[in-house]
Amino acid sequence: MIFVSSWAISARLYGLVQRFAPSNIVIRRVHTRTGVKWGPIVGLAGVAVYGLLMVVTGTVVRDGGPGWVNVFFIVGLWNMVRFAVLVPVSVAAGHA
């Protein structure tokens, strides 16, 4: 019973994140036929923005900030990797 309810909650949360998270919306738009030409620009901008987020949150934690700020650091790292992968993928899709 607990397994089934936790599975349902995680599936619903996954759907909400896929639908409403800004990085997912941008990456989904870039993967369309008309958006693939914007892939390298959007990818580099995403790497810059999330890299800056990581620098700021890392500095806050290092200087004695609350530990829950590490969550923003991890999310920034994950999204920066996703946008870094977006650049070569969109270039390859644009040449195909």
- pLDDT value of residue 59: 95
Please tell me the distance from the alpha carbon of residue 21 to that of residue 8, in angstroms, as a whole number: 19
SS3 7: helix
Quickly tell me which residue has 């993928």 as its tokens.
89
C-alpha 93: how far from chain center: 20
- pLDDT value of residue 94: 79
Domain definitions of the chain by residue range: 22-95
pLDDT for 96 beyond 80 = no
Average of per-residue pLDDT across 12-36:
91
pLDDT in tens, 27-44: 999 988 888 889 999 999
Contacts of 58 by beta carbon, 8 Å cutoff, 6+ apart:
73
Q: Is the pTM of this model over 0.75?
A: yes
How big, in percent rounded to 5, are the helix, strand and coil portions of the chain? 90, 0, 10
Q: Predicted confidence band at 5 (pLDDT cuts at 50, 70, 90)?
A: very high
